[in-house]
Structure 1
Amino acid sequence: MIDHIGINVSNLEKSKNFYTIALAPLGYKLLIEYDATETGSKYAAGFGTNGKADFWIVDGQVNTPRIHVAFTTESCQKVNAFYEAAVKLGSTDNGAPSLRLHYYHHNYYGAFVLDPDGHNIEVVCYAFLGK
C-alpha cells in the first residue's frame, strides 16, 4: 500500500494554485507546508483529505521523465469536475473524461491532464456512468 507520493515542481506557487483548484472536487486540500528550514533542503506542500497529506509537491528540479499520478474518486461527476477545473486553469488536455474499456476494468472512467510542469495527472472512478 502506498502511503504518499511526492513530485518535484519548478514553480511551487503556480503548482500549489493548480493542485488546490484541480483537486478540490475530490475533497483534497492543501494541508501543510514546510519551508527549507524545516525540511533541511526544500520547500514542500502536502495535499490530502481527512487531515492526512498523501500527495506532496516539492520545489526543485522537475522529475525527468515526468511522473504519472492517478487519483481515485467515487463518481464520474468528480472526474469531470477535476478535468473541467484543470483545463480552466490552462492545463493541457491529455485525455478527456470517458469510459476507457481498454484499461484495467470494464467500468474504468478517467480523465488526464498535464500539470504546469508536464506531469500526467489522472482522476479515475470505477463506477457505472451516471453515478
Structure 2
Amino acid sequence: MIDHTGVIVSDFAKSKAFYQTALAAIGYTLIHEFPAEVTGHTDVAGFGENGKPDFWISRGTPNQPPVHVAFRVDDRRRVDAFHAAALQAGGRDNGAPGIRAHFHPDYYGAFALDPDGHNVEAVCHRPMESAQP
C-alpha cells in the first residue's frame, strides 16, 4: 500500500495551478502547503481527499527521466473529467481516455503530461457496467 508520493516541479506556482485543476476532476483538493521557511529547504504542496494528502509537489529540478503517477478512481467519467481538466489546465495530451486492453480488459485510463513532462494518469479498473453509477 502506498501512503504518499510526489514529484519535483520547476515552476511551483504553474504546477500547483495545474494539479489543482486536473486533480479536482477526480475529487482531490490542495490540503496542505508549506513554504521553504517552514520545510527548511523548498516549497511543498500536498493534494488528496478526505483531509489526507497523498500526492505532493515540491520546487526543485524535475526528475529525469520524468515520473509516472497514476490516480485510481472508481468511475470512468472521472477519468474523462481528469483528462479534460488536465488539458484545460495547460497539460499536454499523452493518451486520450479509453480502454488499455494490453493491461487488462477493464483498464480505462487517460494520460496527460504536466508542465514538467511528468506522465499523470487517471485509471478506473472496474468493468463498464459497474464503473458508472
Q: Which range, TM-score by smaller chain? A: over 0.9
Distance (Å, rounded) in 1 between the aligned partners of 2:101 and 2:65: 27
Distance (Å, rounded) in 2 between the aligned partners of 1:126 and 1:41: 38
Distance (Å, rounded) in 2 between the aligned partners of 1:128 and 1:120: 24
Distance (Å, rounded) in 1 between the aligned partners of 2:96 and 2:108: 10
User: Aligned AA for 1:111?
Assistant: A
- Identity, % of aligned positions: 53
User: Aligned AA for 2:57?
Assistant: I
Q: Please say if residues 48 and 54 of structure 2, whose CA atoms lie closer than 8 Å, have aligned partners that are also in contact.
A: yes
Unaligned stretches of 5+ in structure 1?
Answer: none
CA deviations over 1:9-63 (Å, ceiling 9, x no partner): 0111111110001001211000001111211100000000010110000000111
Distance (Å, rounded) in 1 between the aligned partners of 2:88 and 2:37: 34
**2:60 alignment counterpart:** 60
- The runs of at least 4 aligned residues of structure 1 exceeding 4 Å deviation read none
Q: How does 1:1-131 map to 2 (within 5 A)?
A: 1-103=1-103, 105-129=104-128, 131=132
Q: TM-score, normalised by structure 2?
A: 0.94
Distance (Å, rounded) in 1 between the aligned partners of 2:58 and 2:109: 26
Unaligned stretches of 5+ in structure 2?
Answer: none
Q: Please say if residues 5 and 56 of structure 2, whose CA atoms lie closer than 8 Å, have aligned partners that are also in contact.
A: yes
User: Aligned AA for 1:106?
Assistant: P
Distance (Å, rounded) in 1 between the aligned partners of 2:90 and 2:47: 20
Distance (Å, rounded) in 2 between the aligned partners of 1:45 and 1:112: 22
Q: TM-score, normalised by structure 1?
A: 0.96
